[in-house]
Structures are given as structure tokens and as C-alpha cells.
A and B are shown apart, each in its own frame.
Chain A
Amino acid sequence: MKNINFTCPFCSLLCDDIKLEVKNNNLKPLNFKCPILVNSLKRKINEQFSRINGKKTGISQAIEALSVLIKKSKSTLFAGMGTDIKGTKATLEIVDKYKCIIDHFSGDNYVKNIKSIQELGGFFLTLSELKNRADTIIIFQSSSDTVPRLFEKYIFPKETINNLKKRKVVFIGSKVPQFLYKNKKLINFEYIKLDSINLLNFISNIRNSINSEISEIKDKKLLNLLKLLKKTKYGSILWSISELQNNISDVIVNEITLLIQDLNKFTRFSGLSLEGSDHILTVNEVLLWQTGFPIRTSFASGFPVHDINQFSTKKLLDNKEIDLAIWINSFNEKKIIINKKIKNVLIGIPTHPQKKDADIFIPVGTPGLDHKSHLLRIDKVVSVPLKKIRNISLPSVDLVLNKVKERIFNDN
């Protein structure tokens, strides 16, 4: 048994202040009870066989079968894409050569951020700026479900470079996160209860009030908020698309972007989207530098064609535009869509509940547990090195895909 310092790969905060007890490959967090971390480490790996049609097989047979499927396929989608930098690089080599399409688990939500940036741009910040700089933080309908330690580490830190004493937090949305309620006596926070539609109107009203000299504002909450914004020296705005009403979330994101632009005319403000599940940011960054485009890009024409609507996993499956879906998830057991009319492959962790449902299942390890890795944090700026801390002979996604690549490239 030994205690080690650990960097957690399970959410996009990538916390590196965790101490783990390691005993016969069993891992127990000692100093934090982050639910994502605790649940992720609870998984017991009882077997780690590859499978073809649900039946156990050796990994070389599964790799061979996968390479045959890729070669036969007329249109392949790489879906899920829960992987790290090297896993994405290995995927893209196959995607480029075999004219495939690439999307991600969090595509439906994240493309709304992408679309907003493509239309308007934005003004962003990184986590240590949030922690040290902001005297006002406005949170638009976000929980900490996907980034459990965000509040504790970055919104209510013990010490800041600028010795911020009076940080004001305003939560605007329909449901206040537990953390804020639990600590409401300790922190200076205000709650404006609004659902998504009213939230959209509210942001538009803030913008109108900033941009034009409206003499009389009746809404007291709006009036107070405007006073606060004018007093703010450096403010941050946080939002989570997945928690906004789906059919208007893209409009809300655009309004937030415009609001931040407006505020910067007289004070300093910047924003951070809290969307980053299953390391979509890591995958997206590699895609951008290698191809010039973000997720939802097809290589069917021999060059990258990007379309956030056309290349959504759901649409491609519903319209039967693909005949092979290769799902990758090296972090968790998130459900995948099995469409029996096409071939389905899962390259996933050994405990994945759908491993017997896929035509081929290849077990892989988790970055930062079973192999060294690099992932990007939620702000896309900081990349974090992760170590191998467990020894149960699970290959990485890139190792598996490089074998597949060798197999299919050698045949040509």
C-alpha cells in the first residue's frame, strides 16, 4: 500500500491536488470526496476481454475484425471520442485515410458554443484569472455537476493574488447549485430566479439598459444588477449550455457573448463556458490544429468538410448515412446508441455495460490511470500531464488504433 499524488482525469478541471491510497490496483481518494472521482474509482474490473458479437476473444482478433470493418465500410463515424490528445491523433490518422466522420458525446451542446464563436467571437478567461481577478461573478444557470470542485477551488478560494475581499456572486437561473445554498452564510451571493426564456429576456434587458439611456427601470433586480455591473472592476460570466432550454440555448449564448462585449466598453468582463464533458475540448483542439476545423467534420471528400448540423451523431444514425459507428470512451460508462442496422464498435473501459451489445468490443485503459496522458483543461489553455498509476495491462486508445492502422495500412 502507498499514498500518491494524483491528477484526476475524470472532469475537465483536471485537479492535481488529490492524494490517493493505492493498494493492489485499488484506488481510494484520501483528501477530497468529489463525486465524479469517487464514483469513477469505485468501478471494479473483473474481466477485460475483447468481444466479437458479445463473445470473448483475444485483442488481436478484435483488432483484426475492426480493421476488416473499417476497410469494408462505405461511411464510418467515430463517435463518443472520450479520449486524450494521443487517442485523438491516432483517430484522425484513420479518419483522414479512410474518409470517415468525427463527432463527440458532448457535440449537441458544445456546437452551440462553436456556432456562437464562429458568428461573434467572444471574450474569455482561464481558471486562475477567475480565481484571482474577478470581484463579480455572474453564473447563468449552471450547476457544478460536471465540474464538482469549481466553486470550492476557483469561485471561493482562500487566497487570491489581488487580495479580493468582497467578491459578489450572482446566480441567475432556475435552480441554485447545492454548493451555494450550503455556504450561503459564508459567501456574498444573490439569486435571481428565472427560467431560460425569462433569462434570455433578462440578458437582453441588461444589454438594452447598458447601451441606451433608459431613464426608468422598474425591475428592481435588474436595477440592482446594473448598479453592481457599474461598480465591478473585473467581472466573469459563467454559463452551461446543457442546462439551458435546448431550443433557445444558442440564442442565450449569443446574448451572453454580446453582453460581455458591451460590458467591456466601460469595465472589464470575460466569460467561461462550463461545457467540457468527456474531454471534448481536448479532442476539439487536436482537430482544429490538424485539420483547421472543430468536431462534426467529415473527410469523405478527401479533405475536411465541417458542418455542425449535418454531421451530428444522432442525425447520421437516424438518416442511416453511416454503416459503421466506432464509439470511443476511455473515461466512463456513458451510454452509446446501438443501431442494429449498422455495425457498432465500442472501444471502451472494461466495465462498460454495453460491451456485449456491440459487434466488436475492445477494452482500453483510462488516461491517467492505466497510461501516461495529456488532457486540456476546461479553459483550453492549460494542458495537464497525467501519469500511469495502475498496472492492469489495459492498452490506451492510441495503442489500439495504431495497431488497427498498421493492420489496414499494411494490407494496402
Chain B
Amino acid sequence: MITKLQNARIYDPINRINGKIRDLYIKNNKIIDKPGRGEKISKVINLKNKIIMAGGIDIHSHIAGGKVNLARLLLPEEHRKYLYSSSDKLRSGSGLGTCSSFHIGYKYAKLGYTAVFEPATLPSNARSTIIEMSDIPFIDKGTYTVLSNDDFLLKLIQKKSNQKKINDYVAWILQSTKGLGIKIVNPGGINAFKFNQRELDLDEKNRKYDITPRSILKVLTKSLIDLKAPHPIHVHGCNLGVPGNVKTTVKQINAVEGQPMHLTHIQYHSYDNKGDRNFSSGANLLAEKINKNKNITCDVGQIMFGQTVTVSADTMSQYRNHHFAHPKKWICADIECEAGCGIVPFEYQDKNFVNSLQWAIGLELFLLIKDPWRIYLTTDHPNGAAFTAYPKLIKLLMDSSFRNREFEKINKHAQKNSVLGSLKREYSLYDIAILTRAGPAKVLGLNNTGHLGCGAKANIAVYNENEDKEEMFEKPYMVFKDGEIIVKNGKIQKVFNGKFYIAETEYDKNIEKEISSYFEKYIGRKMENFKIQNQELWDYGIETENIKCNRNDY
């Protein structure tokens, strides 16, 4: 069956189409160039005065896993504020920042997003995280498995194991936990916190293993390059939220010596400690560094004002931040000799100096980092705000007069300490399509999504042209997933599940002898039961899509 979408204005940066009016053809679940001779077009949809982009891709959004469920348990009052009734097609649910699974899918689909990546899956929690994700409809999904604090890896580094052995372990972890990528979280710091170290800078040693975050960062960065993994190392660096941490972030960029690295939620890692309150923006410093270092990609982790909850594997930082909990309750956990988690509810207030400056710093980063192909739009959902804030964030980037009006509402001291008011840059629709589709697809190594070229998945968002960009992005006119209309005028049409992306890699099986003995002796379970089998996923109706580790542009 062939569907023709005609007369729409198309923004497709991967194929360098910048607002041209063109027709688009969908055959089954893919986009085709045009129908072959004799092929019949069964449906024509006129999209005059509409804008088309590929379905959105969220590179970093905490949508599942033990930490999200703990946050749900911690905050029944937040869930009671947002209740969703069941209907013929849809399940009931609740919550916003830690929205229940079905409604995560409904909400993303309604925003025109068709792929979302859970960025902090602990190895031992991967199986139930993936099963949980099978209850998120529509979107294609994947996970980044957290390494960098597990005792096994730290021992390998301590013993100065060769890079090949580390690569085998990383590949084994990726394969066993069905991850698409590897995430570093506060390298060595979460482990050090288990030994009562409260801070760990890039060149400080973990007391137990006598190794530094720098050494962990270097071997894992190299490992993903050696493995030709689809996505370079995804890094939540040291000292999250600490005033002055921008210096560490810059040092981290130096540490990887030009190799590809993705820095996540950089807003939380861009703080300087100047001024009478010892808290200032480091956005300019970091933006200049990123502008010069073409090997670096990043997402922002913008904060938006209001109540949310922060969830992270970074127990060290979350414990440090628990004093700011609003309401006054929080959870931390030490997990399975791998890492940990921390849940701290948070209210970002526009009258508060620090929160206001955090908001401004995020926007400064968006506007000062020049290359839109290397910066992606995230709120680190739900840490900075729920992903439902994306339309407003897009308006802040596209409309400088709106941004300036919002800037004038924030804390006055923060205004004085930010250059945001002087930044005139406005993102274009083409730029937004890069930030939210093309860029993330490229850095994740996904060739068949994030664009509208021949062979791409027919994941398409159709928007009404509208001067008010918040309104425009809040309610797409139509959303296609795998060629089917899933949303029309804000209403869900049909419910089905997307695919689950997995990096497909190989490793030397000899590594399993050592891992197996480690599991038996210390972890107290069998290695074979740790490894997730494809059949287990298929049993939950999960359709997997394997991405081969053969990236050749590192």
C-alpha cells in the first residue's frame, strides 16, 4: 500500500531539505523515492500549509527502570495531580515526570516523537527495565548500560589489564544487557561513595582501587571506538551540580584527546564559582571548548521552572543534593557492586537565584554552541523538567522576544549574572529538525530514522504552520509511526509497539571464565542468569532491531 503526502513543507536536514514543498511517499512502513511504474497510490493526504519533519528522537530521557519506579513510589502526591482515565483504546495511568509507562508512549507520540533512549540502565536491572519498556507503546527504544563504577571493571583497570580485555568486557556487558550504548556516570565516584568518599574530581583517586576517574574515562572511551559501537561513550561526568565544575568538564574534554565523546546534560556541568554567591555561569567557557573540539557532542538537560523529580545513578551527587529535596524526602541506593541510584524531588523556582541561573545557563549553552549537529534538545527528563516541556523550550530557542520576556521574569541577580539577554540567535525550523531528529540519529548510529530519505522508517511528524512555535510543536496535526497514522489532531488513532534497538557486537569468549567465577564467588548468582536472552524479550512481544558495531567514522 502506498500513501502520498502532498504539498507539505519539508525539513529534513540529513537530506539537506530546508523547507521545500515536496511530496513524500510511504510504502508499507518505509519511505520510498516514488512509486514504481504500475504501482498504485492508495491514499493521498493533502498537507498544504503543513510542515513535515521526521519523528523526533530523544537521546536522553529516563523513562524506565528501578530508579523511575522508586520515584513513582516516593511521590504518590505527584501522581494524584495527573490522573488519566482509561478508554476503549487507552490504558489508565498517572504522573508527569515519572508518568506511568503506557502514558509515556501516548505523550511522546502526541508530541511527534518516535524514538526515545533510556540513558542509565544498571546491568543487573536491565532485564526488568526492558520488560517495563515493553509497556511503553509507539516509540522505538533502547538503553545505555551504566559502566564505570562496577567493581569488576575497576579491578581490571587497577590491575592494568590491557585494552583488549577491557573491550571484551564492555562488549560482553553490551551484549548481555541488550544495550545500544554505554553510559559513564560519575566515573569511579559512585563506587568511591560506597567507601565514604564524598567527592571525586577527575584526577582524585578512588581510595579502594587507587585509580582516577580520568583513567576510567579514557579506557571506556577507547573501548567504544575500538568496538566501532553505534554510539560513542555517553558521559555524565564528575561533580554534577557543584559550583566550579565547568573546569572539570573542560578537563574531561582534554582527557579524551580528540576521540569522540557525548557529554550529557551539560547544563548541570557548566557551573563556575565566581561572584559574591560563588555560583556563576560557565556556559561561555564550555561552549568555546565544545566549538573548538569537533569530537564532542552534547545534550543540554535544560531545566524548566516547576516541580519535578531528579533520578540518577549518581548516588554521590544525589546524596549531596538531598538537602534541596522538595518535598523533603529522598531515596538513595547502593546497587549490586555496579553503581547506585538517587531520587530527589525538586522544585525549580524562577525567583530563586541558583535555579534561575541554571535555566539561563542551559539556554546560553544552546545559543553559544554553534554547530546544531553536535547539540541535542533534552531536559534530562524528568531531572530538568518533564519532556512535555519541549514545545516551550523550542519556542525559547526560536523566538528571541519571547525568550527575553521570560528572562525578565527570573531572579534579578541571575539576570545580572547571565549574558542570555544579549544573545540574539534564533533557531530556525531546520535547526530544530537537526537538534531533535537528525543530530540524535547521527550520533546514535541509526541510519534508518531521523530523516525522510528513501528507505527510512516512515516515522513522520506533521505540524500546522504557526507563528507560535510552542503551539505548533505541542500538538502535531498528524504523526506517523512505521507508516501508520498514530495521532491525528492530538488524538491517538491506533496503539502498537515500536522496536527495541540493540548494539550487536562480538567478544572473546574467554572473558566469560573470569566473569563467571566473579559472579559465583561475589555476586551470588549465576552469570548465565545475568545474561538476557533474545527469547526472553520475544516472549514479551518485544521486536528487536540489531545495530551492527561497524561504525567507521570514529
Contacts and interface: CB of A to CB of B under 8 A. Distances in A.
Interface of A: 5, 7, 16-17, 85-86, 89, 93, 96-97, 114, 117-129, 131-133, 153-154, 157-162, 233-234, 264, 267-268, 270, 285, 288-294, 299, 301-304, 306, 372, 374, 376, 379-385
30 contacts: A89-B135, A96-B91, A118-B74, A121-B325, A124-B334, A129-B336, A131-B522, A132-B337, A161-B151, A234-B195, A288-B72, A289-B100, A290-B101, A290-B135, A292-B72, A292-B79, A292-B93, A292-B98, A293-B79, A293-B94, A303-B84, A303-B85, A303-B93, A376-B128, A379-B336, A381-B124, A382-B125, A382-B336, A383-B127, A385-B533
A381 B94 contact: no
Contacts of B430: none
Nearest to B151: A161
A302 B93 CA distance: 9
A302 B86 contact: yes
B493 interface: no
B208 interface: yes
B122 interface: yes
B100 A121 contact: no
Contact of A126 (B86, B124, B332, B526): B124
Nearest to B535: A372
Contacts of B85: 301-303
A255 to B, nearest CB: 15
Contact of A153 (B69, B333, B524, B529): B524
B125 A154 contact: no
B333 A125 contact: yes
B101 A127 contact: no
A301 B131 CA distance: 28
B193 interface: yes
A303 B332 contact: no
B260 to A, nearest CB: 31
Interface string B113-128: 0000000001011011
Given A129-B335, A133-B334, A303-B83, A117 B91 contact: no
Nearest to A131: B524
Given A288-B100, A292-B100, A384-B529, 7 more contacts: A93-B91, A96-B92, A118-B75, A126-B333, A128-B336, A268-B196, A383-B125
Contacts of A160: 522
A303 B92 CA distance: 5
Nearest to B337: A128
A117 B194 contact: no
B76 interface: yes
Interface in B63-83: 64, 66, 68-69, 72-76, 79-80, 83
Given A303-B83, A304-B93, A294 B333 contact: no
A154 B523 CA distance: 9
Interface size class of B (residues with CB under 8 A): 35 or more
Instruction: Indicate the member of B74, B125, B332 with the most A CB atoms within 10 Å.
Output: B332
B66 A381 contact: yes
Contacts of B333: 123-126, 270, 381
A117 B331 contact: yes
Given A96-B86, A291-B100, A383 B94 contact: no
A372 B336 contact: no
Nearest to A234: B194
B111 to A, nearest CB: 19
B516 to A, nearest CB: 13
A16 B529 contact: yes
Contacts of A129: 194, 334-337
A132 B197 CA distance: 18
A302 B92 contact: yes
Contact of B524 (A128, A233, A292): A128
Given A124-B333, A290-B91, A267 B196 contact: yes
A96 B490 CA distance: 23
B343 interface: yes
B189 to A, nearest CB: 14
Contacts of B144: none
A154 B336 CA distance: 12
Contacts of A114: 73
Contacts of B336: 126-129, 379, 381-382
A306 B79 CA distance: 10
A233 B196 contact: yes
Given A293-B79, A374-B128, A304 B92 contact: yes
Given A289-B72, A289-B135, A381 B529 contact: no
B79 A303 contact: no
B39 interface: no
A133 B74 CA distance: 26
Nearest to B519: A128
Interface string B520-549: 011111100100010010011000000000
